[in-house]
Chain A
Amino acid sequence: VRTRPGYAAPVASRCYSHGKVETDEEFNARWVTYFSKPDIDGWELRKGMNTLIGYDLVPEPKVLDSALRACRRLNDLASAIRILEAVKDKAGPHKDIYPYLIQELQPTLAELGISTPEELGIDKS
């Protein structure tokens, strides 16, 4: 979910350097592929998440789904729940994004047995 500005910049003043620009679909596909690696290791999972969270966007449900499944393959429940905390934080003041993500991820959370921070009561400081 990208927070889009209400205006669209005219083509002439776009600030791209030379080279092709990746579409949202390509970006998502790349990250889904990254987390889908069957033998992904813990380091790669954590590195991927840190890189993803560094971007100026909230990851799409399908990317998060892929990351959560990687956590399952690695038996890392802690990181799975931490991912939910991280995307809630990434949404910043846009309070409607996180509930939307949880709604979209509900089947996956149920399938993989991942509790949300709210369910665990750890969302309060």
Chain B
Amino acid sequence: MAHQAHAYHMVDPSPWPLTGAVAALLLTSGTAIWMHFNSMSLMSLGMILLLLTIYQWWRDIIREGTFQGHHTPPVQKGLRYGMILFITSEVFFFLGFFWAFYHSSLAPTPELGGCWPPTGITTLDPFEVPLLNTAVLLASGVTVTWAHHSIMEGQRKQAIQSLTLTILLGFYFTFLQGMEYYEAPFTIADGVYGSTFFVATGFHGLHVIIGSSFLAVCLLRQVQFHFTSKHHFGFEAAAWYWHFVDVVWLFLYISIYWWGS
């Protein structure tokens, strides 16, 4: 068998794109069926298949990059482009929800009393838990940068400590936000205020959980010596994603929590 005469990665056939697509189909149709016919079977099946796909697809990528050497500089460049494009698409995703929020809040309808916050809505005090949440995420941005420098400088123990701290801060945010959701004096069903609040902050919270998971995988990999001081793109991608999540929160805080109160 000849060796390839280029530095690119011609991936081996894999079943995971197909299982991922099937999972997407089962999740979407399953959610619709759950909502109309009171059965969670299809949705649960989709969820399981999705989790299996996630685990195995990314495990394979780690094998290809870390153990088999397929992530040459041009391949890594492509991965960087890919992550940047993905995060850009997520920016547009959130832009939509900010559009909805500003459309509703700049020109509140008569049904709301023509004012924002709408009549009857008790907003959360932006200077209580939401401000703490802001501090927590900003701090986690510092600790993830600390982790990055530690990795680049070959400081294994510090890298593990700062990455762990970042993840703990992420969990703390999620915990605090969960408490806020539980205690809030309004629900998602409370008019367009409730809708814009919980959909925007809800999707953000989901992204915090995803980002925390990504960082946790990086922690496991760091402990298992996957990263070198020069090559640790998985960590960089996780750190980019984490900063994105932080920036989205800052916009949410200023727009919905502060201006919107």
Chain A residues within CB distance 8 Å of chain B: 42-47, 49-50, 76, 78-79, 82, 86
In the bound complex, what is the Cα–Cα distance between A90 and B106 (angstroms)?
19
Please determine whether A50 and B108 come into contact, CB atoms closer than 8 angstroms.
yes
In the bound complex, what is the Cα–Cα distance between A44 and B37 (angstroms)?
41
In the bound complex, what is the Cα–Cα distance between A118 and B42 (angstroms)?
58
Please determine whether B107 and A79 come into contact, CB atoms closer than 8 angstroms.
no
B103 interface hit (Cβ, 8 Å):
yes
Interface size on B, residues (CB 8 A): 10
CB distance from B164 to the nearest CB of A (A): 47
Please determine whether B103 and A43 come into contact, CB atoms closer than 8 angstroms.
yes
Please determine whether A82 and B110 come into contact, CB atoms closer than 8 angstroms.
yes
CB distance from B196 to the nearest CB of A (A): 15
Central interface residue in B103, B108, B110, by most chain A CB within 10 Å: B110
Find chain A residues with CB under 8 A from B202 CB: none
Find chain B residues with CB under 8 A from A79 CB: 110, 114
CB distance from A37 to the nearest CB of B (A): 15
Nearest neighbor of A43 in chain B, beta-carbon distance: B107
Please determine whether B110 and A49 come into contact, CB atoms closer than 8 angstroms.
no
In the bound complex, what is the Cα–Cα distance between A47 and B105 (angstroms)?
9
Find chain A residues with CB under 8 A from B108 CB: 46, 50
Task: Give me 23 A-to-B residue pairs in the complex whose CB atoms sit less than 8 angstroms apart, sorted by A's number.
Answer: A42-B107, A43-B103, A43-B107, A44-B107, A45-B107, A46-B107, A46-B108, A46-B109, A46-B114, A47-B106, A47-B107, A50-B106, A50-B107, A50-B108, A50-B114, A50-B115, A50-B116, A78-B110, A79-B114, A82-B110, A82-B113, A82-B114, A86-B114
In the bound complex, what is the Cα–Cα distance between A44 and B106 (angstroms)?
9
Find chain A residues with CB under 8 A from B110 CB: 76, 78-79, 82
Nearest neighbor of B106 in chain A, beta-carbon distance: A47
Find chain B residues with CB under 8 A from A42 CB: 107, 109
Please determine whether B103 and A49 come into contact, CB atoms closer than 8 angstroms.
no
Find chain A residues with CB under 8 A from B109 CB: 42, 46
Nearest neighbor of B111 in chain A, beta-carbon distance: A78
Please determine whether A49 and B106 come into contact, CB atoms closer than 8 angstroms.
no
In the bound complex, what is the Cα–Cα distance between A42 and B106 (angstroms)?
12
In the bound complex, what is the Cα–Cα distance between A44 and B110 (angstroms)?
13
